[in-house]
Structure 1
Amino acid sequence: MPALIGLLLLGLLLSTVAPRLLARARWVEREPVLALLVWQCLVVAVLLCCVLSLLLAASAALPELRALVFAGAPHGVEAAYGLQDAEGWGRLCAAVLAAGGLQTAFALTREVRTAKAVRDRRHAQLTSRAPELPEAIAAARNRRERLVVLESVRPEAWSLPGPDSRLVVTTGALQQLTDRELAAVLSHERGHVRARHHWLQQASQALASGFPGVGVFSAFRDQVAELVELAADDRAARRHGRHTTALALAEINLDRGVFGSCPPGLAQSPRRVDRLLAGRPRLSVPHRLRLTLVALAAPAAAVLLAVAPGLVSQF
């Protein structure tokens, strides 16, 4: 069972060592989009290790499944995996991994249903506070998102993602922000909607809830909550300038300390303002390419480790 043991060890290594290295990396704040890609590749690699381990363990425990998995494989491939005499270990590993998979599926389903219910409730509340005219509904069908203005003295702006997405801004924000600052705020929120950041946040929350004791998933959830805000900040800064975006961030959060649609406490505006004003340059293209290749190597290593015994048996 070398492939099964190797996949379990690789998953353990990726879920313990890699998150610590990423947490210490200094380039993350300079390249939040790339950092999100690296985190996603890391999590996909861990999940691949679990899924492929489950497949091999179940194949060891169930001869019928093993015959199905290796149907049509060249001579010697099935024997190379050493699953014939490992039914006991196979049953144990398959039971543990299957329980984890079911827990993840339940957590993801619960998270998606909860997020949809919250989004529907917020849409209903928004509609009751700012009802739309029939012609406005018809005209908005050709747009990717709609802008809604609410009467409130408090300067706020947020996004409601989904098929019928909204960008919401209050009259307090219209009065307090300049035109360029308001454009930066809306660009920030538009970045959340168009990059589908809510999907990433739901998936990370589901994994953290499904595996509360696994550090890589809780770190993934925390990092996603921060990195999506930095990525949206950078989108606004590229279009409207770093200083304008920083001023808008400060103006709209004078009494809150939080910018955008993230929950309070997840992204502190002073740190983000300092980051925008510092204006540190992006990583060079070769550096970004190397990091991308390293990130993609993680899931590729899991797949390669799973098929390695079969490949070796043919040479």
Structure 2
Amino acid sequence: MVVSLALLLLGALLAVAAPRLVSRGDWREREPVVALWVWQCMVATVLLSFALSMTLSAAAAWQLVRGHVFAPAPHGVVEAYALGSNGPWSALLAVALACCGLWTGAMLTREIRRAQTRHRKRRAELLVRAPLLPGEEPGGEPLVVLEGERPEAWWLPGSTPQLVVTTSAVRRLKGLQLDAVLAHEEGHARARHDWLLHCSAALANGFPQIPVFAAFRDEMHRLVELAADDVASRRFGRLTVALALVELNEDRGVFGPCPTPDAELPQRVNRLLAPVPRLTTGRRLRLTAAAALVPVIPLLVAFVPGLRALG
């Protein structure tokens, strides 16, 4: 029970402290891909801590679970965890954490189904506005142009992602700007950013009071756009990407003095026009390696009693 409580406390502390730890400094804007990796490792550590706490609590509460979890372990290892002297609290903790796990799965399933429904609806609308010509297949073209008075461009994720742009956008995007927009959306598709958005939304909606999940969702929406901007700018230049963003959004009032739902767009443009130097290769590697080691902490906490017994 002591190890289960330690894992539970570790997960709770990290759930509260992770947003502050990751938010220090401006390195996230300089290295959004590394920041995405760090956030995933932090959230994975929280979930792993709770999962291990649930497993050990269930093993302490029920002999059947204990037999499966510790089946190959020597008798001394089982005794090191003192699983048989915890009363009803182990069962209550295991049931509570199991319910949280089931709720997480339900939220993720709901989010994926909602996204699939939205995608099917948008693809059906796309077929109505741009019917297939003889010999064409649904999703066969990476770029679809629609008649439209507003300059718009959006990405339809799926097995065959497509970029949809309006004729007004085509008229306004000059030179390589349209190619830059396509590269931006291809960056989303290759990195499967839609899955990150689904998972972060499911966790935040399922557990709105846990700070790390709310921050995870907000940061994913911002960082995936910065990462895709960098993908496009490496191919077509930062100025081209910035001008494309301005051309697509200047009529929506997002660059005015009043705050709007798309207030991050001016920040993205400023970041492209006045870039700060990237982190050195060594620092990027250190951040990546340090983040990868964070999920090892709950594993060490869980296995220390057993390792001591074997040693």
Match of 1:309 in 2: 305
Alignment of structure 1 residues 1-315 onto 2, 5 Å: 1-137=1-137, 146-256=142-252, 265=261, 268-315=264-311
Amino acid at match of 1:304: L
Q: Pick closer, same or farther for the CA change 1:266–1:8 going to 2, 3 Å.
A: farther
Give unpaired runs (5+ residues) of structure 2.
none
Whole-Å separation in 2 of the counterparts to 1:173 and 1:74: 68
Amino acid at match of 2:111: E
Q: Pick closer, same or farther for the CA change 1:257–1:183 going to 2, 3 Å.
A: farther
Between 1:20-29 and 1:123-132, the stretch displaced more is 20-29
Aligned residue for 1:68, secondary structure, equals: helix
How far is 1:233 from its partner?
0.6
The CA RMSD measured in Å over matched residues stands at 1.7
Question: Structure 2-normalised TM-score?
Answer: 0.95
Q: Pick closer, same or farther for the CA change 1:298–1:267 going to 2, 3 Å.
A: farther
Q: Pick closer, same or farther for the CA change 1:51–1:310 going to 2, 3 Å.
A: same
Between 1:70-79 and 1:34-43, the stretch displaced more is 70-79
Aligned residue for 2:234, secondary structure, equals: helix
Aligned residue pairs total 307
Cα displacement string for residues 268-289 of structure 1 (whole angstroms, at most 9, x for unaligned residues): 2111111011121111011011
How far is 1:267 from its partner?
5.7
Aligned residue for 1:29, secondary structure, equals: helix
Between 1:162-171 and 1:118-127, the stretch displaced more is 162-171
Aligned residue for 2:154, secondary structure, equals: strand
Whole-Å separation in 2 of the counterparts to 1:307 and 1:286: 31
Amino acid at match of 1:119: H
Q: Which runs of 4+ in 1 moved over 4 A?
A: none
Query: Residues 226 and 267 of structure 1 are in contact (CA less than 8 Å); yes or no, is this contact kept in structure 2?
Result: no
Between 1:264-273 and 1:71-80, the stretch displaced more is 264-273
Give unpaired runs (5+ residues) of structure 1.
none
Q: Pick closer, same or farther for the CA change 1:270–1:182 going to 2, 3 Å.
A: same
Amino acid at match of 1:208: A
Aligned residue for 2:73, secondary structure, equals: coil
